[in-house]
Amino acid sequence: GPKVLQIPSHQIIDMGQMVTLNCDPVSNHLYFYWYKQILGQQMEFLVNFYNGKVMEKSKLFKDQFSVERPDGSYFTLKIQPTALEDSAVYFCASSLELGGPSSYEQYFGPGTRLTVL
């Protein structure tokens, strides 16, 4: 089936550094999402993105966070500067949301495990 890719799978960085997480969504999808999940816990919505713009963001999407998808390339989440509490697995997801109910299904990437030291 359709696949979402995420690069890298793991990232270890020092607190205060910048990190960029990359997502290659399903090719014809229109909506893109980032979620944060601390090990084995709840999947928490960060932000969704459509037509080049942020549509909604949660309280977890701090000022240090930004997203973009320049010219149909990777959908990225940048954190600058990072903090200890940013350590988590970050999942990217995409959906089509055009047409029938099945188009609302979100396809998730395998996640990027971010460790901030």
Partner 1 sequence: QQKVQQSPESLIVPEGAMTSLNCTFSDSASQYFAWYRQHSGKAPKALMSIFSNGEKEEGRFTIHLNKASLHFSLHIRDSQPSDSALYLCAVSRAGGYKVVFGSGTRLLVSP
Q: Does 87 bind partner 1 (CB under 8 A)?
A: no
Least gap, CB of 64 to partner 1 (angstroms): 20
Footprint (CB under 8 A) of partner 1, residues 14-43: 31, 33, 35, 40-43
**Long-range contacts of 102-109, Cβ-Cβ distance < 8 Å, separation of 24 or more:** 106/33, 107/1, 107/2, 107/3, 107/4, 107/25, 107/26, 107/29, 108/4, 109/4, 109/5, 109/6, 109/23, 109/24
Among 20, 22, 50, 65, binds partner 1 (CB under 8 A): 50
Q: Is the peptide bond before 81 cis (omega within 30 degrees of 0)?
A: yes
- The size of the interface with partner 1 (CB under 8 A), counted in residues, is 27
Closer CB to partner 1, 56 or 85, in the complex: 56
99: left (phi over 0), alpha (psi -120 to 50) or beta: left
Per rule CB under 8 A, is residue 45 in the interface with partner 1?
yes
Binding site for partner 1 (CB under 8 A): 4, 31, 33, 35, 40-45, 48, 50, 55-56, 58, 91, 97, 101-102, 104-111
